[in-house]
Amino acid sequence: METYDKKMKFLEEMANLLRKEVVKMLVEAGSGHSAAPLGTADIFTALYFHILNHNPKKPDWPDRDRFVLSCGHYCPIQYAAMAHAGYFPLEELGTLRKLNSRLQGHPHRTTLPGLEVTSGPLGDGLPQAIGMAFAARMDKKKHRVYCLTSDGEHDTGVIWEAAMFAGKHKLNNLTAILDRNNIQIDGYTEDVMPLEPIKDKYEAFNWHVIEVNGHNIEEIIDAVNEAKAIYEKPTMIIAYTIPGKGVSFMERDYSWHGKPPTKEEGKKALHDLRTLGGKIKSEHE
């Protein structure tokens, strides 16, 4: 029990460190998305430091779990998690969105080892993950496929076509996570294009659906473990998150969907995040 508590404490502190990394990266880049990367730090921490069966030293290991980021603009938090997991040097985080950087504004698969897909067009990632899961079943492979998708991209039809396919073929080796932060670039999702009742919709498409607090790492891990015990359906984990989590002036404000903090705003954001505590520090903090 003590070991488990230490692991949870480590994961919580790592999530806060990754949020600080995201703020510094965005300030340095002068462009990029703030709200969702901060809001999904707990999810990425759970994935890269507990859930995924992967080897950063051997990113092409055939038996690795596959992780697909459908909403590519979330990539600053993925890069931060990958760097701290050991995929590339931490100092490279400062090159986000710069010319000739491997850390582009949307992930580029052939540039950075450890990326499974090139993300950009919203709605395409979940279908790609479903294709990977279907191929793995055909090849009788044991690895699992994970996908993070946003709520805003559920405005696209391709998401629902793919969801039907996954439900029909009972892809139990697929676990998707829906970041339910309720915002998109034009406003709140329920004003732009209402999605509710989204849980009922996925269940109607023959998915197993679990709802969690997207900032509770223990709940996220438990949901993934539950998904592994479901044999007749794919699983969708609806993770309710706060966009801009941890930064007082960003939280729940959709205007931060697609803009970075200025240098002064970055200082205020880092101050907010430092008050959350945690002993883990970046070597360049």
Output the domain CATH number for residue 203.
3.40.50.970
Question: For the chain, how many structural domains are there in total?
Answer: 1
What's the rounded Cα separation, in Å, for the pair 189 and 184?
6
Residue at 258 is within a domain: yes
**Banded model confidence at residue 162, pLDDT cuts 50, 70, 90:** very high
What pLDDT is recorded for position 284? 41
Contact 43/239 with Cβ under 8 angstroms? Answer: yes
Query: pTM of the full predicted structure?
Result: 0.95
Evaluate if residue 278 carries a pLDDT over 70.
Answer: no
- Domain range enclosing 55: 2-274
Tell me which residue has tokens 């932060």. 181
Residue at 262 is within a domain: yes
What's the rounded Cα separation, in Å, for the pair 87 and 73?
19
**Banded model confidence at residue 161, pLDDT cuts 50, 70, 90:** very high
Q: What is the rounded average pLDDT of the residues 161-177?
A: 98
Q: What is the rounded average pLDDT of the residues 58-85?
A: 97
Residue at 285 is within a domain: no
Residue at 156 is within a domain: yes
What pLDDT is recorded for position 200? 98
Residue at 97 is within a domain: yes
Residue at 43 is within a domain: yes
